[in-house]
Each structure stands twice: as structure tokens, then as C-alpha cells.
Amino acid sequence: MKDGDIADDSRVRAAAPTLKHLAERGARVIVMSHLGRPKDREPDLSLKPLASDLRRRVGRDVQFAEDCVGDAATAAVSRLQSGQVLLLENVRYHKEDEANDSGFARGLASLGDLFVNDAFAASHRAHASVVGVAAYLPAYAGELMEAELAALHRALDNPKRPMIAVVGGAKVSTKVGVLRNLLKKVDALLIGGAMANTFFKARGWPTGAGLVEDTALDEADKVGSEGGDKLVLPLDVVCARKMEAGQPLRIMDAEKVEPEWMALDIGPRSVALFREKLRRAGTVIWNGPVGVAEIKDFADGTKAVGEAIAATGGFTLVGGGDTVAAIESLGMAGRFSHVSTGGGATLEYLEGKELPGIAILQEA
């Protein structure tokens, strides 16, 4: 959000059905959420501009409280009638939220009678607004939360075979746990994006001026050894001297990237290989673009892989903010079985970690 303009309301859209259904059943719906990591009450991080968008998505008037606890919140809740919606101010204006302060959690809980967690995207955080409130109120999963968990369970725990994962993005270090966990489950793991450079260098291949995570070379080497034939790297790459639109492009073999050139997308032979691996997939998990998809010149590989995933006819799960942004910009939205809103929470689930926001609901 910038200057009051909402850049991406995908999570508002995703949570709106739960809010709408609760309001239709006569509940007084109190919405709490966070935005950014404010050091103080930064106006640019206020949730107030979201009220009008939420009003449009839920289809009824949405009131706004200038704080999430204290007199302002209590007074706003006391005015709320059956079937009305109230949006509280950014919970992260209070440092106690991220600290999971029990007093702050009690203050939030005192505003309502039931706690409904529909924020899967925040459920990897042990914050007061995610787990603390559940200690003081009966706690339930919202419709979005249930859909996210059902999709992840179907893809990871009960997959139709063959099961293929496509993982891209920049860094091996942030996804090494995901890669290791997926390798235990999948029939093939296809690697793209800048992280492929780190795997290339770990094999002793030249990577030119491409982004390489030198501190993760040992991890890449271990994952490569553990993966064996399951781990599929690009055969060729689209290269440029600069990561800018309009640059001269060359296609090079993955093991022969020349000095001063950088790999910025997968090449045509890699696309053909990935398509063949995906062709009869029963389940596909996709996390991370396979090139610099935000620049049109380097988006062809991501678009081709996305098209191949959408065409499988199997269950397709897409996760990660960059991946979701890519399918939106490339016109592929709506073509996958489930698009996760999770970001970091999806990654941690794929890694096999327990999410505190989910664990507290299971206890409840």
C-alpha cells in the first residue's frame, strides 16, 4: 500500500467470503490484521484505506476503529450491531503483538466471543493476534484457512502420482529445507531461477556474472547428491550482460555460461525438458519463477512452465508471492487448482515445519 492506494488486495479478496458469511449469519464481525513492520504509528501502514475495499468485497458497510485495543477499540465494538463489520487498526502498531504479549492478547480477546483465524499467511508467526488470542477464546479455522490446509494436505500427503515440484527463486539457503523435504516425496524436482546458478557452480560449471549464493554451495552440493536423478536442472539458459529490458540475449548451455554474461531465464531445451517431465503429472507443486519474470524479456520460461503445469490435468498447487505475481502478470490466473496466499507460511509448510497458528487451532 502506498499513499493510501492498495497495490495488491488478493488477501482481502481471499478472506472476504468468511467475513461475508459470518455477517450474513448475524455475527458482529471484528477484523484484525497487520501491515508491514512499523516502528511507530506510521500513517502509510494504517489499515484505514482497506475499509472501502473490504466494504466492496464483503458487500456491506465496514466501520473502522482507530486502534485495535483500548478505549477506541472498545467503543467501536460497543456500537457494532448484528451483521455489521468493524476493521481494527494495524495490530503491529503495538510491539506487543509480535512479542505475543499475554496482556495484549487478552485485550484483543476481550473484544469478541469467538476467534476465527483465516490468516494462513500469518500462521507461521507466534504472534498475539495469531496464537495468543486463541488461548482466551474458542478458536476456529476460517474458510480460507481450511481451503489452504486441504490443498496442501492433498498435494503433499495424498498426492496423485507422478508428483512433480517446480522450485525457482533466487536463493538456495531460504529453500534448502523445502528442497530436502520435497525430495522425500516427489518423483521429480525441477529447479529454475537464480538458485540454479548455485547448483551449477557447486558442480564446477562457470556461471559468468550470474547471481550465485557462494555461502550455499555446500548445501547445493548435498541436495544435488541426495536428489540424484530426481533433481532436474536446466539444460540451457537465456543470458544477457545486464538484468534490464532491451538487452541483447544469447542462449547458452547451462554448463558453458561465458564471462560477463548472466543466466536470467531457462532456455528452450530446458523448457522442452520441463514440459516432458510435467506432461503426465498427477500433482504439481510450483514455488518460484524460473527466470526474472518481472522483466518481460526474461519471462518466457516462467510462462511456458506455467502453461505446462496448467495443462497437466492434475492437481496443481501454486505458492509464493513472486509466483502468484508472475501468473497474474502473465495472464495465467485462474488456471490452477489452488493458489496459496501463504508466502512464508506456505514455504514452512512445504518444509514440514509445524505452524504455530495451525497448532493452536488443533489444540483448541
Supply the pLDDT for residue 147: 96
CB 208 within 8 A of CB 238: no
- 98 — pLDDT class (breaks 50, 70, 90): very high
Annotated catalytic residue 208 = no
* C-beta atoms surrounding 261 within 10 Å: 21
Q: With 80 as the cut, is the pLDDT of residue 9 above it?
A: no
Architecture category of domain 10-141 in CATH: 3-Layer(aba) Sandwich (3.40)
Q: What pLDDT score was predicted for residue 6? A: 67
Q: What is the mean pLDDT of the chain?
A: 95
Q: What angle do CA 336, 339, 340 make, to 5 degrees?
A: 160
- DSSP string for 262-278: EEEEE-HHHHHHHHHHH
Q: Do domains 10-141 and 148-350 have the same CATH topology?
A: yes
User: What are the distances in angstroms from CA 250 to CA 207, 242, 342?
Assistant: 14, 12, 36
Is 11 known to be catalytic?
A: yes
Ordered by start, the domain boundaries in the chain are: 10-141, 148-350
Which of 13, 60, 171, 180 is catalytic? The answer is: 171
**pLDDT (average), residues 182-207:** 98
pLDDT per position as a tens digit, 158-176: 999 999 999 999 999 999 9
The band of 4, judged by pLDDT with boundaries at 50, 70 and 90, is low
For residue 2, what pLDDT band results from cuts at 50, 70 and 90?
low
Percent of the chain with pLDDT over 90: 92
Mean pLDDT of the region 73-94: 98
Instruction: Count other C-beta atoms under 10 Å from residue 71's C-beta.
Output: 9
Active-site annotation holds for 95: no
Mean predicted confidence (pLDDT) in 87-93: 98
Mean pLDDT of 264-271: 98
pLDDT of amino acid 254: 98
Give the tens place of pLDDT for each residue, 18-70.
Answer: 999 999 999 999 999 999 999 989 999 999 999 999 999 999 999 999 999 99
> What's the rounded mean pLDDT across residues 89-108?
98
Q: Are 63 and 87 in contact (CB under 8 A)?
A: yes
- The reply to whether 83 belongs to the active site is no
pLDDT score at 363: 82
Annotated catalytic residue within 11, 28, 125, 175: 11
The CATH code of domain 148-350 reads 3.40.50.1260
Catalytic residue among 224, 282, 344, 352: 344
354 band by pLDDT with thresholds 50, 70 and 90: very high
Residue 251: strand pairing partners = 238
What confidence tier does 73 reach under pLDDT thresholds 50, 70, 90? very high
Dmax (CA) of the chain = 68
pLDDT for position 5:
63
Mean pLDDT on 216-235: 97
**Is the predicted pLDDT of residue 88 greater than 90, yes or no?**
yes
Copy the grid coordinates of residue 100: 505475543
Residue 186, pLDDT > 80, answer: yes
Catalytic pick among 83, 224, 282, 321: 321
- CA–CA separation, 71 vs 77, rounded Å? 10
Residue 12: the pLDDT is 84
Percent of the chain with pLDDT over 70: 98
pLDDT at 10: 76
